[in-house]
Amino acid sequence: MYILSIRFRLFGQTSLFTSPEAIAVGEQIMVETEQGLELGTVMHCYDSLPSEQEEALTPILRLATAEEKESGRANEELAQQARHFCRQCINNRHLDMKLVDVEIFFDRSKFVFYFTAPARIDFRELVKDLVREYRSRIELRQIGVRHETQMVGAVGNCGMVCCCRRYLRKFAPVTIRMAKEQNLFLNPTKISGICGRLLCCLSYEQENYDTFHHACPRLGKKYQTTQGGMKVLRANMFRNSISVLSESNEELEFTLEEWQELNPFRPEMAQAAQAAPPRPKPAQQQGEGLLVFSATPDTVDDPALFDDMLPLLDENPAPAKPEVSFEPVEGAKKKKRRKKPRGES
């Protein structure tokens, strides 16, 4: 049994499949995926399964025929045409959205248009234009800026192609706390990627930092040890050590193992032994608030099709404030302003 690394799109990510025989690199094969029958290109052929792969692999169906290869090339040309046509429709209707890419299923049963937008927009007429033009199921899928960079690709600050474009399949949550714990300069241009979000590589070594900081004493705090009181100054994860200031104003360096042998403790922590449990962090949902809409030639003229797509109206709007007008009262005397003497500021 051979393991094949298959790529379905140009510059796209690869997926692993099994094959009963070795297939040369560059050959096109047919596989069955969640999207149906797809045409892929062999990028690598392995004799054994990679150690990091734990999921069960799907076998390929067969080598692609000449007609299937021609259909794949025709689909690529149609995707370029659909991309140009959709952008033209967006410009004509002055929609505040950006088309990123177009994906067409191998049997042309579905066209997927990926776009970015700052907010929800009314693209009912755009959907009708696309359905009438291609007479197929049209799906408009809103994506975030990180997924846009993953699909388009770019060169990062390190000089290499972005990780999300090469091999990342899921985005791990990245927070500014990671940059602080790694002692990085909090310069947005240094810790942000091409997409404008925090660098995905900040999470690569975060597990090591979490383990070190969990075993490391708190910086700036005073501890009582078998050698007297000491104040923690610095911590060095790469040397697995800390620097402390003794009572005699002498700076000492200990490894974490040597520090634990001193039996350190904080006197004020003895009174707060029953501290409140930490609050759980809210789970971050990928794609939260993004829009996915699908229409077919049979349902595109349904007036209720777009009800869930449009922004919801407030059923109980706040009452409008009454207009207040001030009219002069008869007999009221106007207040005279006191004239300031000359020279007074």
Going by pLDDT thresholds of 50, 70 and 90, the confidence category of residue 20 is confident
Mean pLDDT across 57-74 = 89
How far apart CA 168 and CA 181 sit, in angstroms, is 23
How far apart CA 6 and CA 19 sit, in angstroms, is 11
Tell me the pLDDT tens digit for each residue of 225-264: 888 889 999 888 888 899 999 888 889 999 988 888 888 8
pLDDT at 55: 62
pLDDT at 315: 43
Closest of 74, 77, 76 to residue 66, by C-alpha:
74
How far apart CA 290 and CA 151 sit, in angstroms, is 16
Q: Which residue has the higher pLDDT, 117 or 51?
A: 117
Helix then strand then coil, % of the chain, to nearest 5? 25, 25, 50
Q: Write the single-letter amino acid at 269.
A: M
pLDDT at 322: 46
Tell me the pLDDT tens digit for each residue of 292-341: 777 777 776 776 666 665 544 344 444 544 444 444 445 545 555 565 55
User: In this structure, what DSSP letter does residue 161 have?
Assistant: B
Mean pLDDT across 32-52 = 80
* Whether residue 276 has pLDDT greater than 70: no
- Is the model's pTM score more than 0.75? no
Tell me the pLDDT tens digit for each residue of 204-228: 888 888 888 888 888 888 998 888 8
Selected from 3.30.300, 2.60.310, 2.60.40, 1.20.272, the CATH number assigned to the domain covering 71-144 reads: 3.30.300
How far apart CA 26 and CA 33 sit, in angstroms, is 20
pLDDT at 88: 92
Do 71-144 and 217-269 agree at the fold level?
A: no
**Any idea where the domains of the chain sit in the sequence?**
2-64, 71-144, 148-207, 217-269
Architecture of domain 217-269: Roll (2.30)
